[in-house]
Chain A
Amino acid sequence: MNDIVPAASLIPADAPFPKAAKVALGMPQLRKNLAHATGTIRAKRAKVAGELDDWEQLRDTAAAVKAGVQRRLPELAMRFEERATAAGAVVHWARDAAEANAIAARLVREAGAEEVVKVKSMATQEIELNEHFAAEGLRAFETDLAELIVQLAEDKPSHILVPAIHYNRTEIRDIFDQRMGDAPAGLTDDPAALAEAARLHLRRRFLSATVAVSGANFAIAETGSLVVVESEGNGRMCLTMPETLISIVGIEKLLPETADLEVFMQLLPRSSTGERMNPYTSVWTGVREGDGPRHVHVILLDNGRTNVLADEVGRQALSCIRCSACLNVCPVYERTGGHAYGHVYPGPIGAILAPQLEPGRHDDLPYASSLCGACYEVCPVKIDIPEVLVHLRQQGPHAAGERAAMGAAEAVMARPRLWRTALRAARLGSMPWRRKGFVRRMPWPASKWTVSRDLPVPPKESFRDWWKERER
């Protein structure tokens, strides 16, 4: 049995992406686990998406509905607030993470509790609710299996849907065995046995919890309803059994009406877990007498979203429904995993969301892509991720080496004679580093360019020379 070494402790979260990615690439077990898991889910998604002969029409509708939501955000948010309030919920607004955490912590204390059970929620990961609660002397227990694994390992999530995707079954067995406290003796690495261990571990806690914290997949403006999509039943437990329910919901989760679920609930499960439908979906509207929590709170969260909304090109990132299909097809994500991105939203969607949610940070993430376009192909809401990546690259600061290279290129290309001379020089100059038509590694300072790019060898003859020759 091996000691638990959380992957996040090895991969520096605050380092620039190229540096963090290099560490991740040097972890063979991590790469093997990622390749296996993403390969499995890619095949499942492709099969069930292919079953629907109207998949493209569904994507078109979803993209347009989300684009409409973004334009109507003030109206829809107020409508949601009005309907949810009428149904007995209390709606709060939070400008940023600190405000959302403070409201949630106050509500937990007002309920007379010191601990909460949690449904898996990206919004609460984003605002680091667990860490904030711990600092205030409150305890948050993750109940989703993958979140539980990550929490027990004292690691960080590495994937939007399956935060423990970087662990294989044997590693998960070791984590349960060493950290759970009440793991059954002789626990094997059979996934069914591991799921059973999680059930036993959490059952008492579910049945006695008084406060739960959740996010939401959708918030329906027409009715003031929230929707949570899940598999294990931990979501149902949290949403049903406690007296108090606190849901933290990004403002971009709004949908105009219930009927929109007929589109999104076909796209989301097929794109995320590769299932025709996830095992459990819960929809609730305020308080229902004699059924579920008696105190229902909703915290509508901005935390940088209105900043994303202001960018005409970048705005589409707010259409994301957190399915993670783009992570699973990304050649970069598949090799580095999520920790290297240094943000709660990794992969292609993270590369366009993180720098917009936190301007000035993560400016290197739009470069963590080969612009192959696979992310756009699978995106159920048709976010043109490559378009936004290029857009953000143009806006972000450029590295000194790159700026110098581009400046020199501009000066040379503006002068035809100089350009011809430069091309010939490049052809001769690159000679020692050529491999099969590409220059893979040049010495410093050109290494700044070639460290992450292959440079095509300049052609034997330039077009101008060829044209001149032809006219003779």
Chain B
Amino acid sequence: MNAREEILARMREALQDASPAPEVPREYRRALDPGVDIVAVLVDRLVDYKATVHHGTAAIERALEGARRVAVPADLPAQWRVGSAEFVEDRGLTTEELDAVDAVLTGCAAAVAVSGTIMLDAGEAQGRRALTLVPDHHVVVVRRDQIVGHLAEALPRLDPAAPQTWISGPSATSDIELQRVEGVHGPRRLDVVIADERTGPLAGPAA
């Protein structure tokens, strides 16, 4: 018997006299209370994680301050490419090239207010995973209609087959005396720009 068959046989044997599984109760929350200002909650959480929050796409320039060369996914909207930085489109940049840029500017797929989580699923304006990982400074634009209150509202918006990265603040560790310090291997600086635009070239049917 090969390993697969043997393990499956062991499982079946182990379960021979097992009591039936209980019903799964689903009584937990799937949304925040109506009337909660989810943008305010998101901002509060992001600031708690030591991310910097900006409002309006005009603030992208300020968020990119200090960056001379900025990597962007090739499909990043033109109206987000503001300021004096040089925008380098990722059309197969090498790791060394990614490591040499000062920042990366992308959009996202969704943002969860209650946990301060920004989600990427390799969709429009997000690029591949290495793009938002290797540069030390990530500026991410979140449209207001991409913000939801609760994790349960965000998951259906993501492409389950695509690689996903959920980001809650800059890279951090709690490995030394359980004290959280920001800045290890991922981008050490995270700037979040909350854009007012609700419609436009990016407003997909899922949003």
Given A233-B184, A236-B186, A290-B128, A259 and B20 touching (CB < 8 A)?
no
- The stretch of A33-41, A445-453, A463-471 in contact with B is A33-41
Cα–Cα distance between A306 and B16 once the two chains are bound (Å): 12
Chain A residue with the shortest CB-CB distance to B5: A93
Q: How far is the CB of B187 from chain A (nearest CB, A)?
A: 7
Cα–Cα distance between A349 and B116 once the two chains are bound (Å): 30
Whether the Cβ atoms of A71 and B18 lie closer than 8 Å is yes
Contact with A along B105-137 (1 / 0, CB 8 A): 000000010111100001000001110011000
Q: Is B83's CB within 8 Å of the partner chain A?
A: no
Cα–Cα distance between A237 and B186 once the two chains are bound (Å): 8
Chain A residues closer than 8 Å to B117, beta-carbon distance: 277
Q: Is A231's CB within 8 Å of the partner chain B?
A: yes
| Cβ-neighbour of A191 out of B92, B163, B167, B181 (below 8 A) | B181
Chain B residues closer than 8 Å to A237, beta-carbon distance: 133, 185-186
Chain A residue with the shortest CB-CB distance to B133: A236
Chain B residues closer than 8 Å to A312, beta-carbon distance: 17-19
- The stretch of A107-115, A122-130, A131-139, A141-149 in contact with B is A141-149
Chain B residues closer than 8 Å to A281, beta-carbon distance: 164-166
Q: Is A273's CB within 8 Å of the partner chain B?
A: yes
- The stretch of B21-29, B53-61, B139-147, B193-201 in contact with A is B21-29
Chain B residues closer than 8 Å to A145, beta-carbon distance: 173, 175-176, 184
Of residues 373 to 430 in A, which have CB atoms within 8 Å of B's CB atoms? none
Contact with A along B5-23 (1 / 0, CB 8 A): 0111011111101111111
Given A78-B8, A265-B151, A306-B11, A57 and B25 touching (CB < 8 A)?
yes
Q: Is A182's CB within 8 Å of the partner chain B?
A: no
Chain B residues closer than 8 Å to A192, beta-carbon distance: 181-183
Q: How would you classify the secondary structure of chain B's contact residues: helix, strand, loop or mixed?
A: loop
Q: How would you classify the secondary structure of chain A's contact residues: helix, strand, loop or mixed?
A: helix
Chain B residue with the shortest CB-CB distance to A315: B18
Whether the Cβ atoms of A232 and B173 lie closer than 8 Å is yes
Chain A residue with the shortest CB-CB distance to B156: A259
Cα–Cα distance between A369 and B26 once the two chains are bound (Å): 33
Q: How far is the CB of B160 from chain A (nearest CB, A)?
A: 5
Q: Is A165's CB within 8 Å of the partner chain B?
A: yes
Of residues 277 to 312 in A, which have CB atoms within 8 Å of B's CB atoms? 277-285, 288, 290-292, 300, 302, 306-307, 309-310, 312
Chain A residues closer than 8 Å to B181, beta-carbon distance: 191-192, 195
Q: Is B155's CB within 8 Å of the partner chain A?
A: yes
- The stretch of A5-13, A62-70, A433-441 in contact with B is A62-70
Q: Is A199's CB within 8 Å of the partner chain B?
A: yes
B10, B95, B152, B169: most-surrounded residue (chain A CB, <10 A): B10
Of residues 40 to 81 in B, which have CB atoms within 8 Å of A's CB atoms? 45, 49
Chain B residues closer than 8 Å to A78, beta-carbon distance: 8
Whether the Cβ atoms of A99 and B3 lie closer than 8 Å is yes
Chain A residues closer than 8 Å to B174, beta-carbon distance: 41, 162, 231, 273, 275
Q: How far is the CB of B91 from chain A (nearest CB, A)?
A: 10
Interface residue tally of chain B, by bracket?
35 or more
Chain A residue with the shortest CB-CB distance to B183: A195
Q: Is B36's CB within 8 Å of the partner chain A?
A: no
Cα–Cα distance between A204 and B30 once the two chains are bound (Å): 43
Whether the Cβ atoms of B178 and A310 lie closer than 8 Å is no
Cα–Cα distance between A180 and B137 once the two chains are bound (Å): 26
A54, A195, A222: most-surrounded residue (chain B CB, <10 A): A195
Q: Is A258's CB within 8 Å of the partner chain B?
A: yes
Q: Is B206's CB within 8 Å of the partner chain A?
A: no
Q: Is A251's CB within 8 Å of the partner chain B?
A: yes
Of residues 195 to 224 in A, which have CB atoms within 8 Å of B's CB atoms? 195-196, 198-199, 202-203, 206-207, 222-223
Chain A residue with the shortest CB-CB distance to B1: A95
Whether the Cβ atoms of A231 and B11 lie closer than 8 Å is no
Whether the Cβ atoms of B175 and A282 lie closer than 8 Å is no
Whether the Cβ atoms of B3 and A310 lie closer than 8 Å is no
Cα–Cα distance between A195 and B173 once the two chains are bound (Å): 8
A-B contact pairs, 24 of them (CB 8 A): A33-B177, A41-B174, A61-B24, A64-B22, A71-B15, A71-B20, A74-B8, A93-B4, A191-B177, A202-B185, A234-B185, A236-B133, A240-B129, A258-B155, A261-B155, A275-B174, A276-B114, A277-B116, A279-B171, A281-B165, A285-B162, A290-B92, A291-B163, A306-B10
- Residues of B bordering A, CB below 8 Å: 2-4, 6-8, 10-15, 17-30, 45, 49, 92, 95-96, 99, 112, 114-117, 122, 128-130, 133-134, 151-152, 155, 160-187
- Residues of A bordering B, CB below 8 Å: 33, 36-38, 40-41, 44, 52-54, 57-58, 60-61, 64-65, 67-68, 70-74, 77-78, 87, 92-95, 99, 143-146, 149, 162, 164-165, 168-169, 172, 191-192, 194-196, 198-199, 202-203, 206-207, 222-223, 225, 231-234, 236-237, 239-241, 251, 258-259, 261-263, 265-266, 269, 273, 275-285, 288, 290-292, 300, 302, 306-307, 309-310, 312, 315
